[in-house]
Structure 1
């Protein structure tokens, strides 16, 4: 079928007709004159920027809005040298511009720049309000955080901050028209802008290179507080760490492990209960001489309390794996831990049953070969009524384990302990010996004393849990029991403007590295394993660390293996000669 040429021409005119000013009359009838005028005005007010112009604005905004901590460190470190401050500040500003230049391509530019604003806004909040340092270990902690813990950190002030300083500025990036160069122009403008900003960054640093290099090397907190650079660097280092750790081959450890004569001679299964504490700091532990009696129940029991104990790190993601690894703090790394078996594997090789029950953020890959499980909320619904379980749920788990154990066992109970910032959720309603206590996760709403009161209440509840576990073990006759309590790290409660934990070890205060460590070894266990109580009591006044846990457990459980190091076993010199069975 064919069509007349005139019909085709007419249809083409209809399809390609673009309304001119005079042809807008029908649109006025449909939408109204004021609607069209509003659109014209909005278009007239829409600014036009080059990619470099947008980057200048965004870089300036981020340096002003999200770098209060950075400027504070810079002013302190270069006090009395305004030119040094200016040059270093401009260099870091150019570094921000350089970062933005790397993503200044059509379609990618504004979404990625918006993402950097949101990232810097989030990091700045925790940096300014809690004194947090954003490094790869902090990123590791974030990745291991549970949904429940995340909700406690996302408060109303945080959301307000994110909306005003993050969401709105990020949305405004999509308002102006950006005049990107055509492909031919991009081929030289894009790399030229990147190279120029990179050279200017180092050019301003070279003005006083000697002083700047010295400051950067000796004061990691300076660039560690720069946003978004510190967070971007932390993410990259975390990704590299996980990539390396994920590709390592696990080396066997202690495959020669075997039960010694004392363990073989026991008539009942030996049960060593290891409470892996959370965020308990030694300074607020009543047994260590704290002005408040936060450990009233433990003080009435016969325990060996080591008052000078230090942690391997300042976060669960570091300290907990380090505690169970054969490496001391100076030789520990995430990659080495992932590439080697640990204490639980050695116990399994020896025929001792390792059991991990968790009421926290998981086993941190410690029990990935031997198995781990979360607390069973159905065993104690009252302890888990608030959505998260208090550590009372672990007592129910312990009771169930005692009733079912038929072989020598090391039972690890990973506590929620004093995990912040919502300390008030760590103890049940009605359990608050220290009042008024902070009843929110947002510290800005609480006084310093209320924060300390809530934290001390959580320590007092940990005291109740450990003491109750000891009494439970002491009253049963199915197993030969012993108990350890060792916290993973401490906590800052506002000292020097720091809150929570996970400070880098090079700058971590003692409140984050000094931890409580105690043992309960009943008389029958001492006799079975030939422990001299008087000797061990004297040992409690000497320094110990989490490096000792691996070898002390092997020593007390009478496990013989070539990986055992008696010099790191706290009890080694306090055990008499063991006679063969």
Structure 2
């Protein structure tokens, strides 16, 4: 009796729960697809609408082209989401559009094939700074909440044949609408698409989906690759062979340093005081191969040049490190970034500097580039053979610029102290970035001092960045812009050369001649110039691109 009295009130309370909260209203399948397509075009394409408004001469063309892409969105949602797949496809594309639109709208970053390649080859430490509170809020509002609404709503049940016919009708109707709208003013739209590729590059979810397809095709094409030998005829030249001590070239591959913010290049701020005091050669006019590490770094170590480089061609041919190895030079790769991108795969000497990580330089869980210095001193002290040592920096990699330098190098203030750029002014972001350049200056100068102070090897140091960085110019931040639209802030990089007195004497190099050749350079010059710096003779070396080829003073 007591048990029945205690249970009886529960039954009516359960029965009073509103039906809508449990299951949601019922709507036709096509209506759900149309609603999601409208939401994506309205909520996730702010950058697209802004660019369309700036490109087209009249609002009618804007709306007509926008309607065409709405029809294309409808086609994508319908074609890949028949029957039971409808809701999973809608949720996936809602979440995808929310993620990509955040980076497009807030940072101006296009998610194309190269950007997807960057994402696939990055590390947790690098990518975690992009997951900010602003990003999470954006994805929750524009991805998670509408996805929950999709799951909550119920679709009108239909028999298989009617469902199939309805799906086919939606696919054909949306495709026909897209084609009709484009063809109605084909001359205008085709011209815009040819001249303004960034317009379609800002369209969500089409741009990231297209980039993913192109990335997948690129990776499938590059499976089971046979690497062709390069420079197998490489030998040490007479100057290197005659050197009385081991010759060491330290090749520092910078990260995200742009030429415009290097004091040596005429920047208004003195961001490179230590290098200036050491009389280095600074090359001001240097162009990068790409705008992101995944493209630039393999390209600069290849002999293909920017015009001839592609991912597929690059991985099918040996690179600079292999040629040096063929010549009998010891080659090592030290990394404080996202790895060697396969460049050191065959030399067998790659070292990650953050494992286990010196607490003096790795207090934040990531290591600053000062971690290289003690290891460099130890390596030089025991060096017995001609060596090229590659140091791959973390440098100025954003958005967490404030983690790239110790507190004592925060000389440009106030500096942005977060990876959430929305919380900082453009000036604060620039201050933090300039502090990273100041610290790179210190690391390079300290390495030069270390090399100059020892008497065991004949040293030289060459520094070149992989790509530049946007700091808010024209609404762009970070890097990785498609090459066709990349600003010079992402494609102009610093390049610095230091030659010890011992090197100049042993190799008979005229530094004034080398400095005079510093115009119109690019990453294409790196491959032959490192071979020239080390005096490596090989058919793979193009002397017309070698900075050192015409600059040797013959002994009398």
Could you say whether these structures have the same fold, taking a TM-score greater than 0.5 normalized by the shorter chain as the test?
Answer: yes
The 1:129–1:578 alpha-carbon spacing in structure 2 relative to 1, beyond 3 Å, is: farther
Structure 2 residue 8 is matched with structure 1 residue 29: yes
SS at 1:174's partner residue?
A: helix
The reply to whether residue 481 of structure 1 matches residue 459 of structure 2 is yes
Instruction: State the secondary structure of the residue aligned to 2:539.
Output: coil
Once residues 184 and 554 of structure 2 are traced to their aligned partners in structure 1, the CA distance between those partners, rounded to angstroms, is 69
| Partner SS, residue 413 of structure 2 | coil
Compute the RMSD of aligned alpha carbons: 1.8
Task: Give the counterpart of 2:363 among 385, 392, 400.
Answer: 385
Distance 2:444 2:273 in 1: 11
**Residues 264-313 of structure 1, C-alpha deviations (whole Å, 9 max, x = no match):** 11121111000000011111000011111000100101211111111111
Contact 1:380 / 1:396 at 8 angstroms: preserved in 2?
Answer: no
> Conserved in 2, the CA contact under 8 Å of 1:377 and 1:393?
no
1:115 aligns to what?
Answer: 92
Between the aligned partners of 2:6 and 2:91, the Cα distance in structure 1 is 36
Is 1:441 aligned with 2:416?
A: no
Task: Look up the match of 2:288.
Answer: 311
Superimposed CA distance per residue, residues 437-459 of structure 1 (whole angstroms, 9 cap, x where no aligned partner): 11101111111111111000000
User: SS state of the match for residue 221, structure 2?
Assistant: helix
Work out the CA distance in 2 between the residues paired with 1:268 and 1:382.
33
Maintained 8 Å contact 1:96/1:229: yes
- CA displacement at 1:241 relative to structure 2: 1.1
Q: How far is 1:195 from its partner?
A: 1.8
Q: For residue 198 of structure 2, what is the aligned residue in structure 1?
A: 221
Residue 417 (structure 1) aligns with: 395
> Which one of the candidate residues 513, 527, 552 is aligned to 2:505?
527
Look up the match of 1:407: 385
Q: Deviations over 1:453-496 (max 9, x none)?
A: 10000000000000000000001111111100000011111111
Per-residue deviation at 1:341?
0.4
Query: Is residue 59 from structure 1 mapped to residue 58 from structure 2 by the alignment?
Result: no
Contact 1:262 1:578 in 2 (8 A): no
Report the structure number with the largest CA radius of gyration: 1
Q: 1:359 to 1:209 in 2, by over 3 A?
A: same
Residue of structure 2 equivalent to 1:427:
405
Partner of 1:16: none
Using the alignment, how far apart are the partners of 1:28 and 1:207 within structure 2? Answer: 69
More divergent stretch after superposition (405-414 vs 56-65): 405-414
Q: Pick from 330, 336, 345: which aligns with 2:313?
A: 336
Distance 1:241 1:196, change over 3 A: same
* Preserved CA contact (<8 Å) 2:412 2:432: yes
CA contact (8 A) 1:63 1:93 kept: yes
Indicate the SS of the match to 1:274: strand
**Which stretches in structure 2 are left out of the alignment for 5+ residues?**
none
**What TM-score does the superposition give when structure 2 sets the normalisation length?**
0.96
Is 1:131 aligned to 2:115, yes or no? no
Mean Cα displacement is larger for which, 413-422 or 161-170?
161-170
- How much does 1:26 deviate? 12
Question: Are the aligned partners of 2:354 and 2:366 in contact in 1 as well (CA < 8 Å)?
Answer: no
> Do the aligned partners of 1:87 and 1:207 also contact (CA within 8 Å) in 2?
no
Q: 1:170 aligns with which of 144, 147, 158?
A: 147
1:502 lines up with 2:465 in the alignment: no
Deviation at 1:177, TM superposition (A): 1.2
